[in-house]
Structure 1
Amino acid sequence: MLRYKVVQMVLLILLGVFVAAAGWQNKLLNFWDHPSAAAEQHHDWSALEKNMRPEACAQCHESQFNDWKKSLHAKAYSPGLVGQFASMGHEAGSDCLRCHAPLEQQLFDSETQMLTSLKTLRQFPQGVSSTADLDASEAQLPLRHSGVSCAVCHVREGQRFGPPRKGSQQEGFIAGVAHGGFIASQKFEQSAFCAECHQFPQTYAINGKPLENTVREWQQSRFSQEGQHCQSCHMPDRKHQFKGIHDQEFTRKALDISVFINKYDLPVLQITSKHIGHAFPTYVTPKVTIQAKVLDKMGKVLQTWQWDMVREVFFAEGWQERKDTRLMPSETRVFTVSKLNEQAVQVLFEVIVIPDQFYKGVYQSLLLDNPEEDAKALIQRALQQAEQNDYLLYAERITVL
């Protein structure tokens, strides 16, 4: 009889785990629908487990935290974004946070809360304690200041979610002491998981293409057919670095760039998008400029050429696209200098990356409207940061004598 009751109890426990896992599997279908990290009352979490701040996660996941804190995900609640909220109102601001800080606990619930947040961001620009010190003032900030942090992707109603353990394909509930186990899903390693923020709907299309079309660009590339997802490049070996065009080394490795004299004796720069699974650059924000400078024997500039790779949009009675000259996945493009000056000795080719080209214009325009003090200070900070993000990706001289 005792043995029967023990077996019965084990079966009930297993049934409970199965039902719970099935419930969380359904939850994954709507993972980004009004996401909430708040733990339900019946969870017996420790104070540390209930704390959704990334500094709390760092107490056990230090390497992931150290990678993430340098990423743009950690800076998603940015001064350039927040500085616009004063003129928008808290409801419109919360619409922006659906990607920049999407948890329900991160959204604004009042105008006062939103305006207070502007002042707080001025005082604490980082939004996170870089040393993961839970006693630091940054660790006491509202959760929204941490942007796209650990809980945004890994916590729903207190339950932890993530990819299957390394070397395993097992999905569903995985028992464990920490957090009472977690729910494993291969969705965390698929591009569709990133699409909520990195693929805009067709309703945001300009000239037939959504404002941000990154996932669809990937779907149309060879990388999709080869099973290489966003995470393959931006989270290699599961590192939470989320590197992109702001990172010079990361960008340089993704491209093949060379200069040579072609069969017509003309200097050429050639760029191939070799390891990029979407348009380069993706989105409307960055611009990549290719410059050619013809030099005489004294190094004086005799002639110049410039080409841009950019999706340039503007607003005039609705959004319009001026041009789209971006490099598509696996595409090779050649930039040729012709009709050289007779005194030409060398041609200097340069590739310059301006990661925040579009935002610079937005910030400058906003400052002309003379925003209120807190908003103005944040937008000025954003513009200054954007100006510092430009970099020289490539430079090479070729002799033309």
Structure 2
Amino acid sequence: MSARRPGLKPIVIALAVIVFGVIAALNIEPVPAPGAPPVAPDELATLSPAEALAAADAFYKSRPLYERPHPYTDVPEGLPDLRAETCGACHAEIYAEWQLSTHRRAWLDDAQFMEELAKSRGEHNPPDAERHDVSWMCVNCHTPLVNQLEKLVVGLEEGDISKPIYVDNPTFDAELQLDAITCATCHVRDGVVLGPRGDATAAPHPVAKGDHLLDEENCVRCHQAEALFPEQTLGCFFTTGEEWSRSAFAEKGQHCQDCHMPQTERPIARGYNVPVRKTRHHWFGGSLIPKKPEYESEIAPLRAIFGSGASIYLEGPAENCAGNGCADARVVVLNDKAGHRFPTGDPERHVDVSARVLSPEGQELVRQEMRIGAIFDWWPEIKLRSDNRILPGESLEMGLSWEEHQLAMQDEPVIVEIEAVKERMHEEAFDFHELEGRYVRGRHFHRSRWEVDANGEVRLLEIEDDFGARQTLAPQEASPSPD
């Protein structure tokens, strides 16, 4: 999302924006405004609960998929409510995993989103400013069920996305809202619990097979959202799904769940005579940056399971390279594990890579830095300035040269130190929203030391990354357990 900066004209929020391919031109068709609202404004106060739900359902169906919440669902027979804690009474291990997840932390625990949500509602605008509220689109991915929304949209004044027509939600569950992206988001439809098999005859609630649970359909509803609203200076380009669809992962039939939900074998419920069988973990670690400082200890064990998505290492001079334009060594960032760009997601996500070349005595000879990410202008119109995010299977290099120091060192080997940090947002936005202590902006995910001799031969001395500290690039096999 874009952020309003001090000293600049007000900037309308840009929903999580990352563009793949066509973003360079931003030649995306504006989303058409829907027709007249299903009910007249003067009739809103007289709507029955059923009529309010029907009016909202009609409106949401007129919008693109990512602008819709999941439709209202009844509580499955045999359950008291839809809350994750209720599911956890039987599905204890899955519930414990979900409690660590980014999905669980997507509402009140996400201070950055809360600040952006306030801005999207126009709460920072002057009191006499024209009404402006695009938050109804934002909440559909952070609290995805109709049952979690305090108010529902039944239309837009004059087709303006910043002027939603609200009605009170007769099915609003305030406790369920706190669950953010919860069990029922994926597993409950029309009062039925959906599973990958649908054969749980011992379950205390109705069960059916949910084919969507095992493919990308269940993820791209929020992770593939692409639109441009020029009249609002507003863009929504969450294109992780598109990035995956053009990768070798999609060609091989590897879906989001294959990486983000590692397989395991266990009974899926306790208290019932159910067999041990293949199922999946529900950690959903994402970037593995904790939402709050106090969540660091619960997130840290997951890093050895998921890793960062990319490998970072040092190589000597490029082959067939001669002359002053050749680097003495190259820092390589290889996107060898992620089925999407590295990094992906929100437009402010980026990776900072730095390298220092040290003499044998420890004197810094060279320092080089590289930022991997997309850079946008948000005002007066959205423009992409640059984008060097790494496609699946591809790499980005940063050259290091210290030839001018070689004579002084008498051809002794040098030391190269590499560091890499994942960042959720730019420092300027972090400071503007006063998030220090309430939110974690980023994390170091790689540190390494290398020796390079006078012949350009490279030797790894030590490395520490998500897979631990070691003296070899190959990580030890990680057990899929946070304990």
Using structure 1 for the length normalisation, give the TM-score. Answer: 0.69
**Cα distance change of structure 1 residues 84 and 279 upon mapping to structure 2, 3 Å threshold:** closer
Aligned residue identity for 2:355: A
Contact 1:37 1:151 in 2 (8 A): no
Q: Could you list the per-position Cα deviations for residues 128-166 of structure 1 after superposition, in whole angstroms to 9, with x for gaps in the alignment? A: xxxxxxxxxxxx96221111011111112421112226x
Q: Could you list the per-position Cα deviations for residues 93-127 of structure 1 after superposition, in whole angstroms to 9, with x for gaps in the alignment? A: 342110001111211329xxxxxxxxxxxxxxxxx
- Partner residue, 2:360: 297
- Please say if 1:234 is aligned against 2:256: no
- Please say if 1:395 is aligned against 2:448: yes
- State the distance in 2 between where 1:161 and 1:53 align: 15
- State the distance in 2 between where 1:351 and 1:192 align: 36
- State the distance in 2 between where 1:396 and 1:260 align: 12
Report the alpha carbon displacement of residue 88 of structure 1 after superposing the two structures with TM.
Answer: 4.1
- Alignment equivalent of 1:152, drawn from 185, 191, 197: 185
Report the alpha carbon displacement of residue 311 of structure 1 after superposing the two structures with TM.
Answer: 1.4
- Partner residue, 1:218: 244
- State the distance in 2 between where 1:276 and 1:177 align: 38
- Please say if 1:54 is aligned against 2:54: no
- Alignment equivalent of 2:206, drawn from 181, 204, 227: 181
After superposition, where does 1:94-243 map in structure 2 within 5 Å?
Answer: 94-109=136-151, 142-164=175-197, 174=199, 176-203=201-228, 211-237=237-263, 238-243=280-285
- Alignment equivalent of 2:374, drawn from 311, 316, 339: 311
- State the distance in 1 between where 2:73 and 2:342 align: 38
**Cα distance change of structure 1 residues 31 and 305 upon mapping to structure 2, 3 Å threshold:** closer
After superposition, where does 1:271-350 map in structure 2 within 5 Å?
Answer: 271-283=333-345, 284-342=347-405, 343=408, 345-350=413-418
Contact 2:354 2:369 in 1 (8 A): yes
- State the distance in 2 between where 1:230 and 1:251 align: 13
Contact 2:351 2:421 in 1 (8 A): yes
- Partner residue, 1:261: 316
Secondary structure at the counterpart of residue 146 of structure 1: coil
Aligned residue identity for 1:296: S
Report the alpha carbon displacement of residue 59 of structure 1 after superposing the two structures with TM.
Answer: 0.6
- State the distance in 2 between where 1:393 and 1:175 align: 44
Contact 2:71 2:146 in 1 (8 A): yes
- Please say if 1:82 is aligned against 2:145: no
Report the alpha carbon displacement of residue 320 of structure 1 after superposing the two structures with TM.
Answer: 2.0
Aligned residue identity for 2:344: T
Report the alpha carbon displacement of residue 192 of structure 1 after superposing the two structures with TM.
Answer: 2.1
Aligned residue identity for 1:187: H
Contact 1:37 1:158 in 2 (8 A): no
Contact 2:215 2:257 in 1 (8 A): yes
Secondary structure at the counterpart of residue 249 of structure 2: helix
Aligned residue identity for 1:294: V
Which one has the bigger helix percentage? 1
Q: Could you list the per-position Cα deviations for residues 289-341 of structure 1 after superposition, in whole angstroms to 9, with x for gaps in the alignment? A: 22121212221212211112111223111222221011111113332212434
Report the alpha carbon displacement of residue 38 of structure 1 after superposing the two structures with TM.
Answer: 4.3
Secondary structure at the counterpart of residue 270 of structure 1: strand
Report the alpha carbon displacement of residue 250 of structure 1 after superposing the two structures with TM.
Answer: 5.1
Secondary structure at the counterpart of residue 418 of structure 2: strand
Q: Could you list the per-position Cα deviations for residues 25-64 of structure 1 after superposition, in whole angstroms to 9, with x for gaps in the alignment? A: xxxxx89954245426xx642xxx1322211111111111
Secondary structure at the counterpart of residue 392 of structure 2: coil
Q: CA RMSD in A?
A: 3.1
- Please say if 1:244 is aligned against 2:299: no
Q: Which is worse superposed, 256-265 or 62-71?
A: 256-265
Report the alpha carbon displacement of residue 210 of structure 1 after superposing the two structures with TM.
Answer: 6.1
- Gapped regions of structure 1 (runs ≥ 5): 1-29, 111-139, 166-173, 368-378
Secondary structure at the counterpart of residue 96 of structure 1: helix
**Cα distance change of structure 1 residues 243 and 303 upon mapping to structure 2, 3 Å threshold:** same
Secondary structure at the counterpart of residue 178 of structure 1: coil
- Partner residue, 1:39: 74
Secondary structure at the counterpart of residue 71 of structure 1: coil
Matched length: 313
- Partner residue, 1:63: 93
Contact 2:357 2:367 in 1 (8 A): yes
Secondary structure at the counterpart of residue 357 of structure 1: coil
Contact 1:37 1:157 in 2 (8 A): yes
Contact 1:243 1:250 in 2 (8 A): no
Aligned residue identity for 1:299: G
Contact 1:52 1:151 in 2 (8 A): yes
- Please say if 1:356 is aligned against 2:386: no
* Sequence identity (%): 22
- State the distance in 1 between where 2:86 and 2:200 align: 21
Q: Could you list the per-position Cα deviations for residues 326-384 of structure 1 after superposition, in whole angstroms to 9, with x for gaps in the alignment? A: 111111333221243415642424241223124x43343345xxxxxxxxxxx5554xx
**Cα distance change of structure 1 residues 258 and 96 upon mapping to structure 2, 3 Å threshold:** same
- State the distance in 2 between where 1:85 and 1:381 align: 19
Report the alpha carbon displacement of residue 281 of structure 1 after superposing the two structures with TM.
Answer: 0.5
Contact 2:366 2:400 in 1 (8 A): no
Report the alpha carbon displacement of residue 260 of structure 1 after superposing the two structures with TM.
Answer: 2.9
Using structure 2 for the length normalisation, give the TM-score. Answer: 0.58
Report the alpha carbon displacement of residue 259 of structure 1 after superposing the two structures with TM.
Answer: 1.6
Report the alpha carbon displacement of residue 398 of structure 1 after superposing the two structures with TM.
Answer: 2.1
- Gapped regions of structure 2 (runs ≥ 5): 1-64, 123-132, 153-172, 264-279, 290-302, 322-326, 455-483
- State the distance in 2 between where 1:322 and 1:225 align: 31
Q: Which is worse superposed, 343-352 or 327-336?
A: 343-352
Report the alpha carbon displacement of residue 68 of structure 1 after superposing the two structures with TM.
Answer: 1.0
